[in-house]
């Protein structure tokens, strides 16, 4: 069993408990009044756009930061010019929650990405009900038909889907499914190994007007500059920011990379 398999097994177990506590119909009633924000204009802006992440822990490094007030951290990200904010909601390995997402939603106006391992349509409704504007779809965690179905549901809900790939074949699957926002993960979710060359080698496979997002392993301004030079329109950054004493200034510095 790979690390990704283990994470998804935990996600499914936790999801069953939430589904028992709240029906799909209840989520749909809440979502009926929600109008998600479109992150694409900000992600296409000049310079390097930043998706700043609220992240307490990771499977590879364990505890990263004590974040008692995710809303305050998100406000700093917004002040620094983040195009969007990613909020981890997976509980077992990342120590996140939907409560974090709701708290951040109440504090900032920029688009929010619910960062989790989506394996059912229920989770898309759940994210929208908590105030998400974006959903993460990981190609390695889904069948081609699931990817297509979830992209279609996201479109109906007004959610922008960040489709994450790690291999050339996954990039092709994402493009074939019609992904407009495509992330290349420098981390292999099956082994947790990280290599920034992964984005460099595959960025050219993202043709047309799809937005290119470099994910994972960006631990310095030099790393971010390297991703920008390789063709990234945006970087998704967590560890660098949550361990930084001035996250607003660091987001601004990342944004300044032409």
Residue of 45, 46, 135 whose CA lies nearest to 86 = 135
181 vs 161: CA distance, rounded Å: 7
Catalytic residue among 185, 186, 188, 198: 185
Structure tokens at 241: 């920011």
Whether 55 is catalytic is yes
Six-digit token string for 189: 């979710």
- List the one residue out of 176, 190, 206, 202 whose CA is nearest residue 140: 190
Distance CA 108, CA 96 (A): 18
Q: Which of 55, 58, 86, 198 is catalytic?
A: 55
16 catalytic? Reply is: no
In a 3-state reduction of DSSP, which class is residue 254?
A: helix
Which architecture does CATH list for 3-31+38-256?
Alpha-Beta Barrel (3.20)
Residue in 53, 126, 170, 180 annotated catalytic: 53
- pLDDT per residue over 20-67, tens digit each? 999 999 999 999 988 999 999 999 999 999 999 999 999 999 999 999
The torsion angles phi and psi of 199, rounded to 5 degrees, stand at -65, -45
61 among known catalytic residues: no
Residue 207: the pLDDT is 85
Query: In the prediction, which pLDDT does 190 show?
Result: 87
Q: Is 239 a catalytic residue?
A: no
Identified catalytic residue from 49, 58, 90, 115: 115
Q: Enumerate the β-bridge partners of residue 52.
A: 85, 237
**pTM of full prediction above 0.85:** yes
Do the Cβ atoms of 76 and 108 come closer than 8 Å?
A: no
Residue 74, pLDDT above cutoff 90: yes
pLDDT tens-digit readout, 183-235:
999 999 889 999 999 999 999 999 889 999 999 999 999 999 999 999 999 99
Q: Does residue 258 carry a pLDDT above 80?
A: no
Chain mean pLDDT for the chain: 96
Report DSSP state, residue 131.
T
Do the beta carbons of residue 194 and residue 187 sit within 8 Å? yes
Q: Which of 126, 164, 170, 180 is catalytic?
A: 164
DSSP-assigned states of every residue in 10-68 = HHHHHHHHHHHHS-HHHHHHHHTT------HHHHTSSS-EEEEEE-SEETTTEE----S
List phi, psi (to 5°) of 50. -125, 125
Task: Decide if 115 is catalytic.
Answer: yes
Q: Is the Cβ–Cβ distance between 49 and 83 less than 8 Å?
A: yes
Q: How high is the pLDDT of residue 235?
A: 98
Q: Tell me the domain boundaries of the chain.
A: 3-31+38-256
Q: What is the pLDDT of residue 1?
A: 85
The tokens describing 44, both together, are 């296409």
């Amino acid at each position: 069993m790979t690390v990704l398999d283990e994470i998804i097994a935990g996600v499914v177990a936790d999801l069953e408990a939430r589904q028992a506590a709240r029906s799909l119909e209840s989520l749909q009633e809440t979502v009926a009044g929600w109008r998600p924000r479109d992150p694409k204009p900000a992600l296409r802006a000049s310079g390097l756009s930043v998706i700043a992440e609220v992240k307490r822990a990771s499977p590879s490094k364990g505890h990263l930061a004590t974040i008692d007030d995710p809303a305050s951290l998100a406000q700093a990200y917004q002040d620094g010019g983040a195009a969007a904010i990613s909020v981890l909601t997976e509980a077992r390995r990342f120590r996140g929650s939907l409560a974090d997402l709701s708290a951040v939603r109440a504090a900032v106006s920029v688009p929010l990405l619910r960062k989790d391992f989506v394996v059912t349509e229920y989770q898309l409704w759940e994210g929208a009900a908590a105030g998400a504007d974006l959903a993460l779809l990981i190609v390695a965690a889904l069948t081609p038909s699931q990817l297509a179905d979830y992209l279609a549901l996201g479109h109906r809900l007004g959610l922008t889907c960040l489709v994450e790939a790690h291999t050339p074949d996954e990039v092709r699957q994402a493009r074939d499914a019609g992904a407009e926002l495509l992330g290349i993960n420098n981390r292999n979710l099956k082994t947790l190994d990280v290599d920034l060359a992964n984005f460099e080698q595959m960025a050219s496979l993202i043709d047309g007007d799809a937005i290119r997002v470099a994910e994972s392993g960006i631990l310095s301004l030099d790393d971010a500059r390297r991703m920008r030079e390789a063709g990234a329109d945006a970087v998704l950054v967590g560890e660098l920011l949550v361990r930084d004493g001035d996250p607003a200034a660091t987001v601004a510095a990342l944004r300044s990379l032409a």
